[in-house]
Each structure stands twice: as C-alpha cells, then as structure tokens.
Amino acid sequence: MIPPPLPVLAAIAAAALLTAALAMMLRNLIHSALLLVLTWVFVAFFYLWAGAPFLAFAQVVVYVGAISMVVLFAVLLTRRHDPAKPTRPASLARACSALAVSGGAFAVLAWAVLQWRPVPGNPPPAEPSVATLGAALAGPQLHALLITGVILTATLIGAALIASPVEKPDSSQ
C-alpha cells in the first residue's frame, strides 16, 4: 500500500482544528455540538490516513453514533433562556479551577506526545489487521481490557444510582 501523501494529513488536521475552534467560539450550543461531531469525523479520517481503519470505524461508531447523542441530549436538557447572551462563569474560583484542570490535561497530553520516541529494534507490524488487533486484545492486553470493562461497568452503575430517585414515590398519594 502506498502511504498517503503529507498534504492529505495537513488538510485533515486543518479541517479538524478549524471545526474544533469554531465549536468553541460559537454561541449556539447545538451548533457547537454538531461541529464537535464533525471534528470527531475528521479525527476518524486521520486514523484512516494513519492506516488504522478499525480504529477509524470504531471512532465513528462510538463518537458520531453514541457520544454525540449524549452531548446533544445533555445540551437539550440544559435550560437556557437566552442563547445569544454570553454565559459568565459563576465565580472567579470556578473559572480558575476550570482553567487549571483543562491546562493540566493539555500539559499531560503534550508531555506524553513530546516524550514519545520510536522503540528501536521493535518496529510496529506493517499492516495491523483486525485479527492481530483482536489477538493482542485477548492475549497480552487482556488485563487492561478487563480493567477498563470493570471501570466502565462501575461508572454505569454509579450513573444509574445517581439517576434513580432516592426515595420511592409515595404510593398512598
């Protein structure tokens, strides 16, 4: 397979960054959410460019199909009277902590990306097929997979607990 040219990557990256920037700048939350979905589609294109089709399709199924719905429903369930009015942070401390958390997350990711070096003498397989991916997930990476599954199940149970009413509705009324 011929590796796709670099200008294609530049176009995909530019489109993803542009839609992400627009999603942050727009006042209309639904437009932001829809643009964010478009960003995820471009991230899937990037995976395709990088030769990881399985990851790309999984990205579309999970993010475009499922997480977009969660985001859009969350926006719909949030009550806002005037969408044109800019939202002010509730307090200075809140704004600072939000900035600190997002800055910290960005710093960790940037550090991880900058630290990355190709491991000498251990080249990645030329064409990672679905079969090798499956074998890796069910073999050496099984523990990671199971731990992720347990954490997600715990999150799900927690969400169900939070969502369910604390008291049973009084049947006598």
Contact set with another protein (CB under 8 A)? 30-31, 34, 37, 44, 53-54, 56-58, 60-61, 64-66, 68-69, 72-73, 76, 129-131
Distance CA 20, CA 5 (A): 23
Least distance in angstroms from the C-beta of 63 to another protein: 9
Nearer to another protein, 70 or 113 (CB): 70
Distance CA 5, CA 8 (A): 6
Residue 151: what residue type? I
- What is the helix (H) or strand (E) element at residue 45, kind and residue range? helix 29-49
Least distance in angstroms from the C-beta of 62 to another protein: 9
Least distance in angstroms from the C-beta of 44 to another protein: 8
Nearer to another protein, 16 or 48 (CB): 48
Distance CA 67, CA 32 (A): 14
Q: How far is CA 36 from CA 52, 71, 81, 82, 106, in A?
A: 21, 10, 23, 22, 18
Least distance in angstroms from the C-beta of 24 to another protein: 18
Least distance in angstroms from the C-beta of 43 to another protein: 13
Q: At what angle do helices 68-77 and 29-49 cross, to 10 degrees?
A: 170
Nearer to another protein, 99 or 156 (CB): 156
Burial 122-138 (b: 16+ CB within 10 A, else e): eeeeeeeeeeeeeeeee
Nearer to another protein, 12 or 56 (CB): 56
Nearer to another protein, 122 or 164 (CB): 164
